[in-house]
Chain A
Amino acid sequence: MVAITTAIALFLRHYVGILRGAVLYLVPVMIAGYQLGVIPALITAVAGVILSGYFYFAPLYSFRVASPQEVLNLLLFMVVAVVVSHLSSKAKRHILIAQKREREMGDLYAFSRRLAAAPSAAEIFIAIQDHLANLVQRKVVLLGGAGAGNSREVPEAVRAAVTRVESDAGIERTVGDGNGNIWLIRRVSPKTPDFGLVAVDLGNVADAPLAELRQRIDGALADAAATLERLDVARALNEAKMRSETELLREALIGSVSHELRTPLASILGAATILHNAPALERDPRLQALAGLVRDEAERLNIDIQNLLDATTISRQQVRPKLQWVEPVDIVNAAVAHRQRRLAGYPVTLELDSNLPIVHVDPAQVEQALLQIIDNAAKYSPPGSPIEVAARPNGATVMLSVNDRGAGLTAEEKPIFPRPAPCRHHLGLRPRLVDRQRLHRRQRRQGGGRKRGRGPRHHRDHPSAHLRCARVGRRGALEHRVDHRLGHRLGHLGHRRGDQRR
């Protein structure tokens, strides 16, 4: 820079006629002070004084200065250069600090906005993690709160401190990780452990910056804790924990009840079937009929227990469809075979189209729904009356229908199911009661219609976007609705694939 300044000074001297250009050497001093700091600025100042003496003070082009007045001028130049170098260096520092503060304020403002707009505890925890990571520019792990990380994300040496703070032994701890880095373990809120902990890798910092960093972390966490308290997240987290534990207990209870009820039932049913077929009883039809009665009732009890367990599963919204490609007629055949004994007193007609497309559904769940409808058909139809089960194409979908000769609902029989269970999954059963008018309206819409002296037609389409089947008995109507959005015509797709292979 001094060389460039000298070149400019010589140019001005020879071509412009400026003979007193020593002040030009203050420019590189200012630039060096601003860009490089005080020491380079001082070196530039000394170089400037020497070159000024060489070019501008008599005798010219000599490092010797003849006049004491000129020496004084040079000294004055030196003092001005030193002051300028300090001032420019200080100005640079102030600008950097101002920029840093502006950035921190921006981060803080963004953090505050995220906290204010956070709809859930998980969002708040993500905001805390992002903000702290941005603040310290190192790793931050949230532990124990909603959406929190795993304690394995922190170094082994730090985990003991995490455990101690988790177990209420103080609000915060500072520990080394064995690699020279300091970790701060601190509760998100000093008031409650419910919001979890935060583990911050502070790195290898000196005491003073460490104190400042901790102060800023405390500030950020205080804001976050206030927002969490405002959202009453502690109660929500506790409730979620309790719900989870309740679900586990309920799961265990259902498993236990299922096992405890079915084990004796297995003995009863097995023994009854042995008795029913025993040669000793073949000679006495009355005893054989009794054994048959025990067997049938045990089977009925088993079906009822299964229905009860299924209803519990549905009410817990734990029905998850396991979609498979399946022949619709296989579902119908399986359902009818499962209810063979229950349908023994009814002539059952199967009308199954041999050209139905294969469909992509959960076969077990569709079968279960069909079993319910068949059960209801058997339950509410006069003994000996025919029941027709059909599977037919219905446009782009497949329609399964069960026709019986039951009485159906009367106008005054409009009971309302006490608690409609919400359907939250792709495929779920929503039992609810419907009135006859509504059912007829729907049947007219769907071309089913109800014939005089017959029970209603109950049908199930799949894989349409909206599946519906219903069965109305004398004592009320139970509608099973299956919402099933599959997105494409799977049955026809299956056909096309088959055709291509052909």
Chain B
Amino acid sequence: MTEIPASVLVVDDEIQIRRFLRTGFELDGFAVQEAETGAEALRAVALRPSDLVILDLGLPDMDGADVLERLRAWSSVPLIVLSVRASESEKVRLLELGADDYVVKPFGMAELLARAHSAMRRQLRAARGEPVMKFGPLAIDFGARAVFISERRVTLTPKEYRLLQILAQHSGNVVTHQFLLREVWGNEHLDDTHYLRIFVRKLRRKIEADPTQPQILLTELGVGYRLVSADTGSGPEPAHGAPAAAP
């Protein structure tokens, strides 16, 4: 039985960009659809659902952000934005609008493929509702609310656990400061980014081998944080014990 390849919709008005993206994705085993305009993209997603959308912001008929907003009204397809606009505020806006990730042009194909796989895995995990996730030496047992580093239990405070839980649910993707503040501390603390810095520092001290050079909880400067992609294999099941945290 042959496996159905994952499909990706590439939305860009530049034919050269579409051409190399097609080659790159096809070499990686994707089936590629193309769209040149925002309207075409919306039609394509509606008629033939894709597993992933790569969306350029500078489209001839409408702004990519508008396409993203309209698409998110009815579809949760993983979506990565391509843009030459690299300002942090723009990135935050796109992520808040519902983009799973962004890649600034010019970019290497390997980077885009890594982000693409990560976004698709997150979608898959969300559908499966995995009870245990592994990120290298870090394992999170959502059922037992327990966190392990190299199979050794780590004690987290409720806020630290909640922070890690949200990052894990979006692992591989950037989570904006505002989103984290809203989810962990509530709407009234959206501007208190120093809370986040302090708790991330504490969390890194507990889960990173060297907190000054983090390998698991990464910073996207001026935008948010990214937990590395979860391991694809299920890995060893961490020993269940008393809950480490009670969020």
Binds A, one of B101-109, B133-141, B162-170: B101-109
Contact A270 B20 (CB under 8 A): yes
Which B residues lie at the A interface, using CB under 8 A? 14, 16-17, 19-21, 23-24, 27, 58, 84, 87-89, 105-112, 193-198, 200-202, 205, 211-214, 219, 221-222
**Chain A, 251-302, CB within 8 A of any chain B CB:** 258-259, 262-271, 273-274, 277-278, 295, 298-299, 302
Question: What are the nearest 4 A-B pairs in CB distance?
Answer: A352-B212, A266-B106, A498-B198, A273-B108
Once the chains bind, are B221 and A263 in contact (CB under 8 Å)? no
Q: Are B212 and A266 in contact (CB under 8 A)?
A: no
Cβ contacts under 8 Å, B89 to chain A:
322
**A311-337 with Cβ < 8 A to chain B:** 322, 324-327, 329-331, 333-334
Residue from A270, A322, A350, A363 in contact with B108 in the complex, judged by beta carbons closer than 8 Å: A270
A269→B58 contact, CB < 8 A? no
Q: Are A270 and B222 CB-contacts (below 8 A) given A322-B89, A494-B198? A: no
Q: How far is the CA of A274 from the CA of B222 in the complex (A)?
A: 30
Residue contact A262 to B201, C-beta cutoff 8 Å: no
The majority secondary structure among interface residues of chain B is helix
Contact of A269 among B14, B19, B108 (CB under 8 A): B108
**Across-interface contacts of B108 in A (CB, < 8 A):** 269-270, 273, 295
Determine if A358 is an interface residue (Cβ-Cβ < 8 Å): yes
Report chain A residues within 8 Å CB of B107. Answer: 266, 269-270
List 11 A-B residue pairs with CB atoms under 8 Å apart, sorted by A's residue number: A259-B58, A267-B17, A267-B20, A270-B109, A274-B24, A324-B222, A364-B88, A367-B221, A494-B197, A494-B198, A497-B198
A494 to B199, CA, bound (A): 11
- 6 further contact pairs, Cβ within 8 A, besides A274-B24, A333-B212, A333-B214: A270-B17, A271-B23, A326-B221, A327-B201, A352-B213, A358-B201
Question: In the assembled complex, which residues on chain B have CB atoms less than 8 Å from the CB atom of A268?
Answer: 106
The answer to whether B27 touches A274 (Cβ under 8 A) is yes
Residues from chain B with Cβ under 8 Å of A353 in the complex: 212
B47 CB to closest chain A CB (Å) equals 27
Across the interface, do B21 and A501 meet the contact criterion of CB distance under 8 Å?
Answer: no
- Flag whether A410 is at the interface (Cβ < 8 A): no
Q: Which residue of B lies closest to A295 (CB)?
A: B108
* Whole-angstrom distance between the Cβ of B106 and the nearest chain A Cβ: 4
Q: Is the CB of B221 within 8 A of A358?
A: no
In the complex, which residues of chain B have a beta carbon less than 8 angstroms from the beta carbon of A264?
Answer: 16
Question: Would B16 and A267 count as touching, CB distance under 8 A?
Answer: yes
* Minimum Cβ distance to chain A for residue B13 (Å): 10
Instruction: Knowing A267-B20, A363-B222 are in contact, say whether A326-B197 is a contact too (CB < 8 A).
Output: yes
Collect the chain B residues with CB atoms within 8 Å of residue A258's CB: 84
CB-CB under 8 A for A259 and B221, given A266-B105, A274-B23, A354-B212: no
Q: Is the CB of A302 within 8 A of B106?
A: yes
Q: Given the complex, which residues of B lie within 8 Å of A302, measured CB to CB?
A: 106
B129 CB, nearest partner CB in chain A, Å? 32
Neighbouring A residues of B87 by C-beta, 8 Å: 364
Cross-chain contact B110 with A273 (CB below 8 angstroms): yes
> What's the minimum C-beta distance from B50 to chain A, rounded to whole angstroms?
20
A89–B116 CA distance with the chains assembled, in angstroms: 95
Minimum distance in angstroms from B113 CB to a CB of chain A: 9
Whether A501 touches B198, Cβ cut-off 8 Å, given contacts A324-B222, A331-B221, A364-B221, is yes
Interface residues of A in 3-41 (CB under 8 A from B): none
Question: Is B198's CB under 8 angstroms from A263's CB?
Answer: no
Q: Residue B211 contacts which of A273, A299, A354, A358 (CB distance < 8 angstroms)?
A: A354
CA distance A497 to B78 in the complex (A): 38
**Docked complex Cα distance between A353 and B212 (Å):** 7
Measured between beta carbons, the chain A residues less than 8 angstroms from B222 are 322, 324, 363-364
A366 to B202 Cα, complex, angstroms = 24
Shortest Cβ distance from A493 into chain B, in angstroms?
8
Chain B residues with CB below 8 A from A501, complex form: 195, 198
Residue of B nearest to A277 (CB): B110
- A325 partner residues in chain B, CB cutoff 8 A: 193-194, 196-197
The distance in angstroms between the C-alpha atoms of A322 and B211, with both chains bound, is 26
Q: Do the beta carbons of B109 and A274 come within 8 Å of each other?
A: yes
Distance to closest chain A CB from B228 (angstroms): 14
Q: Are A330 and B23 in contact (CB under 8 A)?
A: no
For A352, list chain B residues within 8 Å (CB).
Answer: 212-213
Residues of A within 8 A of B196 (CB): 325
Distance A358 CA – B202 CA, assembled complex (angstroms):
12
Question: In whole angstroms, how far apart are the Cα atoms of A299 and B104 in the complex?
Answer: 12
- A330: chain B residues at CB < 8 Å are 219, 221
Are B109 and A277 in contact (CB-based, < 8 A)? yes
User: What separation, in Å, do the CA atoms of A362 and B198 have in the docked complex?
Assistant: 18
* Interface pair B219/A273, CB less than 8 Å apart: no
Q: Would you call B17 and A263 a contact (CB within 8 A)?
A: yes
B219: chain A residues at CB < 8 Å are: 327, 330, 333-334
Contact in complex: A271, B20 (CB < 8 Å): yes
Residues of B within 8 A of A270 (CB): 17, 20-21, 24, 106-109, 112
Nearest residue in B to A364 (C-beta to C-beta)?
Answer: B222
- What residues of A have a CB within 8 angstroms of the CB of B106 in the complex? 262, 265-266, 268-270, 298-299, 302
| Least CB distance, A179 to chain B, in whole angstroms | 44
Nearest Cβ in chain A — how far from B16, in angstroms?
4
Whole-angstrom distance from the CB of B171 to the nearest CB of chain A? 19
| The residue from A278, A329, A497 contacting B194, defined by CB atoms under 8 A apart | A497
Taking CB atoms, residues of chain A closer than 8 Å to B20 are 267, 270-271, 274
Chain B residues with CB under 8 Å of A322's CB are 88-89, 222
Nearest B residue to A359, CB-CB? B197
For residue A318, give the distance in angstroms from its CB to the closest CB of chain B: 12
A501 to B195, CA, bound (A): 9
In whole angstroms, what is the CA distance A330 to B16 when docked? Answer: 35
Closest to B201 in A: A327
Taking CB atoms, residues of chain A closer than 8 Å to B109 are 270, 273-274, 277
